[in-house]
């Protein structure tokens, strides 16, 4: 695995030395995210502070594009002594290549680096081929995303735009003027854990429809998604049938209605059906260890509201209710953009939970977050 890391590091160094005459460009960002909460295991309070420098070099030559996103992260705070952090350190790595690692670790500081993304893309007459660590998102819904199988994300994720990524080769080709055909293969060191899938997407009669089928590790999945608009009301839907080798088959599905108003206010209502609930006690900590989001209930309702109040202030609110046990989540985030020449975003947010102590969300602890991100 060390050889993979050396090859990837050499590739980025070559890109950085290429110069503008070779079609080279670069960008980046600096983020600081501070979170405060209480441990679910021992009840102790903790504070976590993450500082992330991300460099995004790009090299383009004729029909070839090399993209990378290299992260250097510093983690500090009492979270490093929490049982949750110990669980995270022992969690299995879901990606194929060893393109991440620790630089330094002590009781007060963890320094680590990784290739968050790293792809080589070839645009050919037969379609676009993209190889490397990438995001493969086939989902259309807004809160829950059962079609997003290779890069799943929880509605409660503190960084909603961050996806772990998958090491894969993706083929993508237009299907006429209104459709696309895609296929992906994500290898694993154990062949039984590899994923291979295909998707077709087509705009038909005012409906943007998609069909997906594949083998994801030991689970066969077939999914359908669609979106459109009727009398000023947008709608989205996703249905996925899963048939694991070791257990019974089950369904997951999302139905969404959404509206956009003239004052910039946006509202979405979603219903999520989960055909494979887990015990409530396993969903909270289990989401730290699992590559798939875990849900304790079968029926959920959700509300997502967001608005750009002015060019310098935006907010986003997610509210979720587990219909089965009546527990709930409220997750507001508000972002300010100072009127500077630099592109800087300041965000504050919180998560509040309600329900009895044995319910899915009632057993979770409230948290607060403050975030600063500078793009350069």
Distance CA(222)–CA(211), nearest Å, equals 8
| CB 112 within 8 Å of CB 103 | yes
* Residues 122 and 128 sit within 8 Å (Cβ to Cβ): yes
* CA 46/CA 78 separation, integer angstroms: 5
Separation between Cα atoms, residue 105 and residue 156, nearest integer Å: 28
* Residue at token pair 């893309």: 121
Paired tokens of 142: 């807004």
What does CATH list as the number for 135-376? 2.40.160.100
pTM of the model: 0.90
What would the two tokens of residue 320 be? 């979720």
Domain definitions of the chain by residue range: 1-122, 135-376
Residue range 78-105: mean pLDDT, rounded: 92
- Please say whether the beta carbons of 174 and 180 come within 8 A: yes
Nearest by Cα to 15 from 171, 120, 170: 120
Element (H, E) at 90: helix 83-90
Instruction: Give me the half-sphere count of Cα atoms (radius 13 Å) on the Cβ side of residue 359.
Output: 16
pLDDT, one tens digit per residue, over 296-339 is 999 999 999 999 999 899 999 999 999 999 999 999 999 999 99
pLDDT at residue 257, rounded to an integer:
98
DSSP 62: T
Express each pLDDT in 155-186 by its tens digit. 999 998 899 899 999 999 999 889 999 999 99
């Amino acid at each position: 695995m060390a050889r993979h890391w050396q090859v990837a590091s050499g590739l980025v160094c070559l890109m950085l030395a290429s110069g503008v005459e070779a079609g080279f460009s670069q960008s980046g960002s600096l983020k600081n995210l501070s979170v405060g909460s209480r441990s679910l295991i021992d009840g102790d309070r903790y504070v976590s502070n993450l500082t992330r420098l991300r460099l995004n070099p790009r090299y383009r030559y004729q029909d070839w594009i090399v993209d990378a996103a290299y992260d250097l992260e510093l983690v500090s705070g009492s979270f490093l002594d929490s049982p949750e952090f110990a669980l995270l350190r022992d969690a299995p790595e879901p990606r194929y290549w060893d393109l991440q690692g620790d630089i330094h670790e002590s009781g007060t500081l963890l320094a680590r680096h990784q290739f968050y993304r790293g792809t080589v893309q070839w645009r050919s007459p037969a379609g676009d081929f993209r190889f490397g660590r990438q995001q493969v998102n086939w989902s259309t819904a807004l809160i829950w995303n059962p079609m997003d199988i290779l890069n799943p994300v929880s509605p409660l994720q503190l960084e909603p735009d961050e996806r772990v990524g998958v090491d894969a080769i993706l083929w993508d080709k237009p299907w006429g003027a209104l459709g696309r055909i895609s296929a992906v293969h994500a290898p694993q060191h154990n062949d039984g854990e590899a994923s291979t899938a295909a998707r077709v997407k087509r705009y038909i009669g005012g409906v943007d429809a998609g069909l997906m089928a594949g083998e994801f590790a030991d689970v066969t999945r077939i999914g359908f998604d669609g979106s459109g608009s009727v009398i000023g009301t947008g709608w989205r839907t996703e249905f996925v049938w899963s048939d694991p080798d070791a257990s019974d088959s089950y369904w997951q599905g999302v139905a969404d209605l959404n509206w956009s108003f003239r004052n910039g206010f946006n509202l979405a209502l979603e219903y999520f059906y989960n055909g494979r609930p887990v015990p409530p006690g396993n969903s909270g900590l289990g989401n730290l260890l699992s590559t798939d989001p875990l849900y304790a209930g079968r029926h959920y309702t959700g509300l997502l509201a967001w608005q750009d109040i002015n060019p310098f202030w935006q907010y986003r609110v997610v509210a979720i209710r587990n219909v089965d046990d009546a527990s709930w989540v409220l997750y507001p985030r508000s972002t300010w953009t100072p009127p500077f020449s630099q592109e800087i975003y300041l965000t504050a947010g919180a998560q509040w939970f309600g329900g009895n102590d044995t319910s899915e969300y009632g057993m979770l602890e409230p948290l607060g977050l403050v975030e600063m991100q500078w793009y350069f």
